[in-house]
Amino acid sequence: MDSSKKLTNANPRATANPISVLVFWWIKDLFWKGYDKDLDVEDLYDILPNDRSEMLGDDLEKYWNLEISSAKEKNRKPWLLRAILKAFGRLYIFTGLIQLILFVVFRVAQPIFLGKFIIFFNKNTAVTRDEAYMYAGALICTALFSIFLAHHSFLACQKIGMRIRIACCSVIYRKILRLSKSAQGKTAAGQIVNLLSNDVNRFDSVTMWLHFVWIMPIQTVVVTYFIWEAVGWSALIGVLAIFLQTVPVQSYLSKLTSKLRLNIATRTDERVRLMSEIISGIKVIKMYAWERPFEKMVQLARRHEIKVVTSASYLRGLYLSTMVFSERTSLFITLLSYSLMGHHISADKVFAMAQFYNILQLAMAIYYPQAVQFAAETKVSIKRLEDFLLLEEMQSVYHGNNKATINHEQDQKLGVTITNGSAKWTSNSIVDTLTHINLWVKPGKLCAVIGPVGSGKSSLLQAVLGELPLSDGSLIVGGDVSYSSQEPWLFVGTVRQNILFGQPYNPERYKEVIQVCALKRDLELFPHGDKTIVGERGVSLSGGQRARINLARVKLRPKEHTRN
């Protein structure tokens, strides 16, 4: 929140030459610095323009709004996945083509060159020394190309996953600011924390492996052809063996993983919600000595969650176990059947087939299962994100509609005008919260609304702010609005950071606001003046000090109207 402090450390990746990018030479200075000392925040490089949260959030939000509009026209439910594909799909398809070349061309070519090179060492070989050197050189070159393509293609996939995660976090944050009061009542803090900490992290993993869902069949056909050229019908026996050990089993396990992931997310939401409520009311719990009952509640919720996590871990261990024996079992079956058919086993066939089955094992037993597993988990996460993004939003006066508008220049002279306004918090409510309200507040005037408890004073302010939508009548607000809530809200930081709240520091304006809000005496009493840390929710301050800091934050912002 302190806009006066901005760390600038130019990112060398932006100006690196192609050779430096190819071998990651541009990051060497950071490695040397980390070798000499522990890295600090100041040592990290600036974010590249294409990775900034604002730009990524704007991009995804644009396509999400278009998807909502298209869904309304076609009378269907919006798909967040479609918006993500429109925003990041092109670059991800390009990385998929690179991985296709890597795993179908360069990886498959290595066993072929290896077999040709080994033939040179047979007694009655027809391979000359020059051809052996050529095969050895081709083997080294394909290995080098594979290394470069693998590192850069996987890095590109990780960057795309990171961008999707950041864009989703940005869209979630913007959605939180637009939630209506009824939607806020349905959304627990634990659910939002889980969305931002667990669900969006699935994009980092799924983009790494998702391409292997369609690369694996192509690679399997190509590898099977070359094994067929070497051992004939025995190739089908070995490939069928490794296929039956991996693909059907993993497809079934992915369905179970998807169900368990949904159960884990639901139970984690409940646990986080429970912990948030306990932390908020910890004073009451300590005062009445209720630690033991609440401790048992937390243990029960955690045990309920761990039960599903354990089941998911067993499934993960089952699919990981297939990595150990699938390659060797398939190679053994192939060589055994080839020998029983009366053929002679040679070194060039054994080493080449071992490499081929290693490629198939990576695709079928490692990459494909991870792709299916993470895709199933990501599907659940996208569904949870969709449900949150489709929650009801408040009808903000700042955007304007037929019932509530805000004008900056032409209507500033109107102040705040409500004509025959009626409103209610929920659409299914029988009685309106506000009924036929008429109000005109002139600019520059002090207006106080008084009344008994429950008469609608706070609801009237919420209607002016756009938090409570009008069901009837009209509302016009001329100019911008600053709002000082009844319950002060402070974040962990200094007093100055809480007052500025992201605004640039103007010494003269800042001192004037401090004087007007009667904070000068408070700052003299603080041990470090306005550099004093206020603590979580201003726990180190008195109620009056919190209220004055909250009011100073409002007065510092140049707005036409202030609400208390």
Contact 419, 490 (CB under 8 A): no
- The reported pLDDT for the residue numbered 560 is 47
Backbone angles phi, psi at 157, to 5 degrees: -65, -40
Amino acid identity at 84: I
Contact 531, 497 (CB under 8 A): no
Return the SS3 of 436. Answer: strand
* Domain 56-389 class, CATH top level: mainly alpha
Q: 435: number of CA atoms within 13 Å, CB side? A: 5
Q: 477-502: string of b/e by CB count within 10 Å (b at 16+)?
A: bbbebbbeeeebebeeebbbbbbbbe
Mean pLDDT by 10 residues, the chain (564 residues): 61 90 91 88 87 92 93 90 93 94 92 88 84 92 93 94 94 88 76 86 91 91 87 82 75 75 82 84 87 90 89 78 72 81 80 84 81 86 91 59 45 73 78 84 82 84 80 79 80 86 85 88 84 77 85 76 50
Contact 192, 176 (CB under 8 A): yes
- The reported pLDDT for the residue numbered 102 is 93
- Residue ranges covered by each domain of the chain: 12-46, 56-389, 404-479, 495-563
- The reported pLDDT for the residue numbered 340 is 82
Which CATH number is 404-479's, of 3.40.50.300, 3.40.50.150, 3.40.50.460, 3.30.465.10? 3.40.50.300
DSSP letters, 458-518, are HHHHHHHHTSS-EEEEEEEEES-EEE--SS----SSBHHHHHHTTPPP-HHHHHHHHHHTT
Contact 421, 463 (CB under 8 A): yes
Please give the structure tokens belonging to residue 251: 């497809």
- The reported pLDDT for the residue numbered 156 is 94
- Please tell me the total number of residues recorded for the chain in this structure: 564
Helices (H), 75-106: 80-101
DSSP letters, 314-369, are HHHHHHHHHHHHHHHHHHHHHHHHHHHTTPPP-HHHHHHHHHHHHHHHIIIIIIHH
* Same fold? 56-389, 404-479: no
Centre a 10 Å sphere on the Cβ of residue 8 and count the other Cβ atoms it contains: 6
Please give the structure tokens belonging to residue 18: 């192609």
- The reported pLDDT for the residue numbered 153 is 94
